[in-house]
Amino acid sequence: MVDDPSIAAGASAELLFRGIGISSGVVVGRVYLKTPHDDQVVERDISRDEVPREIARFESALIATRRQIRELQAGCDPAVASIFDAHLLILDDRPFIENIILGIENRRKNVDVILVDVAKGFMQSLAKVKDEYLRERVADVQDVTRRIQQNLTGKKSTLADITESGTVVVAADISPSEIVSINKDRVVGIALDLGSPTSHAAILVGKLGIPAVVGLHDLSPAAHKGDPIFIDGGKGLVVVHPSRELIEQLTRVVEARRGITAKLARLKDLAAETRDGYRIVLSANIEVPQDVDAVLTSGAEGVGLFRTEYFFMSRPELPTEEEQLEAYRSVAQRLAPAPMIIRTLDLGGDKFLSNLNVSWEESNPFMGWRAIRFCLAQPDLFRTQLRAILRASTFGNVKIMYPMISTIDEIARANLILDQAKKELMERGHAFNPHIEVGAMIEVPSAALVADLLAHYVQFFSLGTNDLIQYTLAIDRGNERVAYLYEPTHMAILRLMKNTIDVGHRSRIWTGICGGMASDPLMTPLLLGLGIDELSISPAAVPVVKDAIRSISYSEAREIAEAALSSSSSVDVHEMSRELTKKIAPEILELVE
Ligand code: PEP
Ligand code: MG
């Protein structure tokens, strides 16, 4: 972990920062500080005669930028490449280009200055738009502008020039094209002041596979070039000037973790089965089709949740039925005969699409026009997705799952639209699996309480605990101020889960969990003991959760679940789970604590 022995000098006081970890792993390196001054522009007056030359400079910079972006796209995986489509659209935007040319002619300044001013105006107008998707394009305009600027001056991105190995990039923010130009042999970590885990930059940083933390607020003003810096991308922790003791301790932790991870990798082809032979299905969650690679290497048995809305959001236009079919087919075929559960669009809440002619403005979007409610109000969009899923069902073991069901009527109407989609395909002569299984996500308390009635309409349930906790305990899942109340082992949650599982079994249907709680190996014994049939988790958590399953007996799991259901304290339940894990699989505590 520490290649440079001088890093451990511990000369200055430790500075600790907490943010949001977006790519796990721990590392110690030296700060490379990217400052906003890197992008500063020199202003120059030009004569009337110089105008054509300045316009020509601009046009060559546009051509060079377009070529570079196409080259970047060609070298990226398709999910990443689609992010750059928005950049190409900006480069072809007539008003953007014409305003710059007019600015050069009228204001007689060098193009570098006019470009920055026009882009600023563009970004200010976008920032005011209510539509979240369009607001997010501000970052794209900024990124494209920076690239045109670099082509005007001939300067390269400073991040591409990093030559020191063991470098940790520290910045207020970095753009997608800077991220893809990062030299991965030299840069060992990334720490940013800004950013949310769902931003484009965070998605790209996550795919670099190096420890990264965003949302650190005031790290970059406090760090200096060359400072020793420690990053824990799992915990979202950054320490500038880590002490010698901290580094020694971390080196031991990293080595121990490396050994454990290598051992757990050997479980890949073994079943998710308790010591006494109780077997469940261990699946993984994906957001875009390319994530299936991580699923296949993780040792998961299939996909228990494909969050399709990200596939819709990572492109400028709505995907057609054929494009969706291609995406779903590619995953289904690679997984077959393992199952792939496709969740129909879960838009609304905090996920919006700008290319739909609808107003997303609501005062309480998580309680509003979200998921199945939105799809039932947009039957054409919904039927198109259902037709694509149905057609993909001939290529593998495909199942359909509806999100945010809260009433019986919703599931009956969704199934009716599914029947219409089937009829349309028959009329068009397209093949599909007529017996495709349909499931309901149980993520609203009302659904968990009437699971016995919902069971008549579906073949499986999947507990979406991220939302079930949010809606049951009345905690906005994205609000840091009430995050301390977000308690998966709250008695109300355990009872709702138990009711759903028991009702499912009485109705002869299986129940899984695809919320984040299932990825926590300390929760595995409890969830097994509640009688869960399937866990769908992040691919990275598959080895450790499989280890937890294989380390316990079903009778121990039943005991802890019974104790949990009769306890009145969620803290006690958590402590019991920790103690049990310490007894049956102490290596798990070394990995997660
Ligand atoms: C959940 O709510 O637990 C879930 C899996 O769905 P999402 O996180 O996409 O809302
Ligand atoms: Mg949900």
The per-residue pLDDT string of the chain (593 residues; one tens digit each, 9 = 90 and over) reads: 444 444 554 456 889 999 888 887 888 999 999 876 666 678 889 999 999 999 999 998 999 899 888 887 777 666 667 777 888 888 888 889 999 999 999 999 999 999 999 999 888 888 777 666 667 678 788 888 988 988 888 776 677 778 888 999 999 888 777 787 788 789 999 999 887 655 656 767 777 778 999 889 899 999 999 999 999 887 889 999 999 888 888 778 878 888 999 999 999 999 999 999 999 999 999 988 988 999 999 999 999 999 998 888 766 688 999 999 999 999 999 999 999 999 999 998 877 776 777 888 888 989 999 999 999 999 999 999 999 999 999 999 999 999 999 999 999 999 999 999 999 999 999 999 999 999 999 999 999 999 999 999 999 999 999 999 999 999 887 776 787 888 899 999 999 999 999 999 999 999 999 998 998 999 999 999 999 999 999 898 899 999 999 999 999 999 999 999 999 999 999 999 999 999 999 999 988 77
Q: How many whole angstroms from 464 Cα to the centroid of ligand 2?
A: 5
Q: Virtual CA dihedral for 271, 272, 275, 277, nearest 10 degrees?
A: -70
> Is there a contact between 585 and 593 (Cβ–Cβ < 8 Å)?
no
Is the CB–ligand 1 distance for residue 464 below 6 Å? yes
Amino acid letter for position 237:
L
pLDDT at 2: 44
Assigned CATH for 5-37+157-258: 3.50.30.10
Least Cα distance to 345 among 320, 373, 370, 308 occurs for 308
| The Cα angle at residue 380 between residues 376 and 385, in degrees rounded to 5 | 85
Q: Where in the chain is the domain with CATH 3.20.20.60?
A: 266-272+281-592
Q: Which ligand is nearest to the CA of 518?
A: 1
Nearest CA, atom 1, ligand 1: 464
Nearest CA, atom 6, ligand 1: 464
DSSP conformation letters of 142-153: HHHHHHHHHHHH
Question: Angle of helix 542-551 relative to helix 244-265, nearest 10 degrees?
Answer: 70
pLDDT at 9: 47
pLDDT at 253: 81
Is the CB–ligand 1 distance for residue 518 below 6 Å? no
pLDDT at 1: 46
Q: Which ligand is nearest to the CA of 469?
A: 1
Active site residues: 200, 514
> Is there a contact between 386 and 417 (Cβ–Cβ < 8 Å)?
yes
Pick the CATH number of 266-272+281-592 from 3.90.600.10, 3.20.20.60, 1.10.3720.10, 3.40.1010.10: 3.20.20.60
Q: Which residues pair with 228 in a beta bridge?
A: 30
Q: How many whole angstroms from 477 Cα to the centroid of ligand 1?
A: 10
Q: How many whole angstroms from 295 Cα to the centroid of ligand 2?
A: 20
Residue spans of beta strands (DSSP E) within 167-227: 167-171, 187-192, 212-214
Is the CB–ligand 1 distance for residue 465 below 6 Å? yes
Q: Where in the chain is the domain with CATH 3.50.30.10?
A: 5-37+157-258
pLDDT at 69: 85
Is the four-CA dihedral 125, 129, 131, 132 of positive or negative sign? positive
How far apart are alpha carbons 423 and 419 in whole angstroms? 6
* Maximum separation of any 2 CA atoms in the chain, in Å: 87
> Which atom number of ligand 1 is nearest to the Cα of residue 468?
2
> Is there a contact between 281 and 534 (Cβ–Cβ < 8 Å)?
yes
From residue 219, alpha-carbon distances to 33, 35, 169, 194, 413 in Å are 10, 12, 11, 10, 51
Topology, domain 48-153: Enzyme I; Chain A, domain 2 (1.10.274)
Q: Where in the chain is the domain with CATH 1.10.274.10?
A: 48-153
pLDDT at 393: 98
> Which strand (E) or helix (H) includes residue 33?
strand 26-34
Is the CB–ligand 1 distance for residue 467 below 6 Å? yes
Q: Which ligand is nearest to the CA of 341?
A: 1
Is the CB–ligand 1 distance for residue 514 below 6 Å? yes
Q: How many whole angstroms from 331 Cα to the centroid of ligand 1?
A: 20
Least Cα distance to 370 among 455, 439, 441 occurs for 441
